[in-house]
């Protein structure tokens, strides 16, 4: 593996830094996701049909049970390469920053980077570009790694930081989707994962209602309506609402990409709010996991 490794930036805050404690939490989350007590879903996607996933990225104590639903499914898919499209919260990337450095370190071990896929994505040119620096303090992908490492231990990753400064989300998604579709057609087990939480900071009842509305166009893979609906909701005066999806940029890119990869809809795997994990019901964040098939 070439290049400098990426060291953990949020170990000890978003998840435990101590290996044994983190391992116990991750194993419990994945076991809970596979337990017979999980609510039945109208349609359980077959692993071979899944082009991509949506996962939340809050602290494991809050969004971990929902994120584990997606990562448990990823484990059944058994991808060899996982392209991770995350939020660039600090807008450090110009468009889509591709990590082309070394392995990502975690308290549970290292996650290798797929150098070939990363280089091919970066070589597509704008809005994609090699940019390691934009990843160094960002948490939206780092928090996925403990669950990813345990559910898909053989997988390599390609981290992408999708900036709110990006223009041309659909074009970027089509470019990425065509590249990944070619690799899948050649027999490679490639999975695309978008990292985003849902509504931020409204009261719990408003959060659940807002999330349910936003999930409708998301599961229809209608990225333009999703963007327009979020804008309308933000103008509607809902108490406490500051965003509908903090990762709307990677989600918009991912939706365009999975359509290019042959997906036609999303399947909701689970949803919750921070109040379900004991957070203040007066100020909540929404979480959802979905599969794009």
> What is 155-183 written as a DSSP string?
-EEEEEEE-TT---HHHHHHHHHHHHHHH
Residue 10 located in a structural domain:
no
Residue holding tokens 């071990």?
A: 109
* CATH code of 254's domain: 3.40.830.10
Residue 115 located in a structural domain:
yes
Residues 26-33 have a mean pLDDT of: 97
Domain that holds residue 125: 19-198+246-292
pLDDT at 48: 85
Give the C-alpha separation, 155 to 159, whole Å. 13
pTM summary value: 0.95
Residue 13 located in a structural domain:
no
Identify which of 249, 207, 254 has the alpha carbon closest to the alpha carbon of residue 70: 254
- 168, 127 Cβ separation under 8 angstroms: yes
Q: What are the beta bridge partners of residue 48? A: none
In this model, does residue 36 exceed pLDDT 70? no
Give the C-alpha separation, 17 to 20, whole Å. 9
- 64, 175 Cβ separation under 8 angstroms: no
Q: Is the peptide bond before 127 cis (omega within 30 degrees of 0)?
A: yes
Rg (CA), the chain: 17
Residue 5 located in a structural domain:
no
pLDDT at 166: 97
Averaged pLDDT of the chain: 96
pLDDT at 1: 44
214-255 tens-digit pLDDT: 999 999 999 999 999 999 999 999 999 999 999 999 999 999
In this model, does residue 54 exceed pLDDT 50? yes
Residue 193 located in a structural domain:
yes
Q: DSSP for 13-39, please give it.
A: TTB-SSHHHHHHHHHHHHHHHHSTTSP
Distances (CA, A) of 9 to 15, 17, 51, 61: 11, 10, 29, 17
Residue 82 located in a structural domain:
yes
109-158 tens-digit pLDDT: 999 999 999 999 999 999 999 999 999 999 999 999 999 999 999 999 99
Residues 195-220 have a mean pLDDT of: 98
Residue 153 located in a structural domain:
yes
Tokens of 170: 């659909």
100-122 tens-digit pLDDT: 999 999 999 999 999 999 999 99
Confidence tier at 74 by pLDDT (50, 70, 90): very high
Could you give the number of structural domains in the chain? 1
pLDDT at 47: 85
pLDDT at 10: 98
Residue 259 located in a structural domain:
yes
Q: DSSP for 191-260, please give it.
A: EEEEE----BSS-HHHHHHHHHHHHHHHHTT-HHHHHHHHHHHHHTT-TT--BS-TTHHHHHHHHHHHHH
Residues 203-213 have a mean pLDDT of: 98
Give the C-alpha separation, 30 to 39, whole Å. 15
- 197, 59 Cβ separation under 8 angstroms: no
Residues 28-38 have a mean pLDDT of: 83
pLDDT at 12: 96
CB atoms within 10 A of CB 89: 16
Residues 57-84 have a mean pLDDT of: 97
Tokens of 184: 């899948």
258-277 tens-digit pLDDT: 999 999 999 999 999 999 99
């Amino acid at each position: 593996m070439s290049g400098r490794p990426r060291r953990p930036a949020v170990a000890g805050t978003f998840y435990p830094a101590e290996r044994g404690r983190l391992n116990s939490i991750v194993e419990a989350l994945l076991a809970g996701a596979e337990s017979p007590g999980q609510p039945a879903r109208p349609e359980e996607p077959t692993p071979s049909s899944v082009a991509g996933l949506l996962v939340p990225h809050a602290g494991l104590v809050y969004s971990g049970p929902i994120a584990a639903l997606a990562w448990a499914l990823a484990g059944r898919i058994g991808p060899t390469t996982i392209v991770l499209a995350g939020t660039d919260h600090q807008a450090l990337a110009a468009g889509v920053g591709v990590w082309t450095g070394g392995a990502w370190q975690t308290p549970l071990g290292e996650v290798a980077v797929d150098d070939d896929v990363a280089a091919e994505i970066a070589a597509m040119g704008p809005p994609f570009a090699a940019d390691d620096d934009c990843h160094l303090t960002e948490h939206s992908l780092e928090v996925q790694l403990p669950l990813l490492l345990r559910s898909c231990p053989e997988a390599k990753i390609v981290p992408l930081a999708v900036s709110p400064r990006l223009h041309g989300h659909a074009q970027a998604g089509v470019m990425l989707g065509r590249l990944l579709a070619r690799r899948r057609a050649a027999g490679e087990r490639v999975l695309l994962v978008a990292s985003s939480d849902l509504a931020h900071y409204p009261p719990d009842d408003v959060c659940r209602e807002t999330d349910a509305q936003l999930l409708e166009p998301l599961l229809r893979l209608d990225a333009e309506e999703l963007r327009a609906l979020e804008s309308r909701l933000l103008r509607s005066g809902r108490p406490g609402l500051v965003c509908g999806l903090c990762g709307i940029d990677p989600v918009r890119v991912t939706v365009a990409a999975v359509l290019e990869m042959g997906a036609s809809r999303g399947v909701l795997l689970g949803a919750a709010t921070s109040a379900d994990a004991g957070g203040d019901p007066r100020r909540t964040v929404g979480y959802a996991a979905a599969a794009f098939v």
